[in-house]
Amino acid sequence: MTERAGSGPGAVTILRPADLTEDVPVVLFLHGWGANDPARYRPWLEHLARAGNAVLYPRYQDSFAEPPAQVLGNVV
């Protein structure tokens, strides 16, 4: 199951097991610079979710033009 929450650099994509009935481990997937679309990592994200994890893929930047200090602040 995939959900999206938030907007702009505060957006997050959440992948989790479809048959979720109990608490599961959470994986915070911090991607590299400019990879704000989870499509690149989709196979890996889905693998982690199928293995029983809830995976959070934060956007934390809108474009390559955002300065590193701002992006770091968004991550934190």
Q: What is the pTM of this model?
A: 0.85
Per-residue pLDDT of 30-52, as tens digits, reads 988 888 889 999 999 999 999 99
Q: What pLDDT was estimated at residue 33?
A: 81
The whole-number pLDDT of residue 38 equals 92
Does 3 score more than 80 pLDDT? yes
Predicted pLDDT at 14: 95
Are the CB atoms for 14 and 3 separated by under 8 Å? yes
Q: In this predicted structure, what is the pLDDT of residue 45?
A: 96
Mean of all residue pLDDT scores within the chain: 88
55 burial type by CB count under 10 A (0-12 exposed, 13-18 middle, 19+ buried): buried
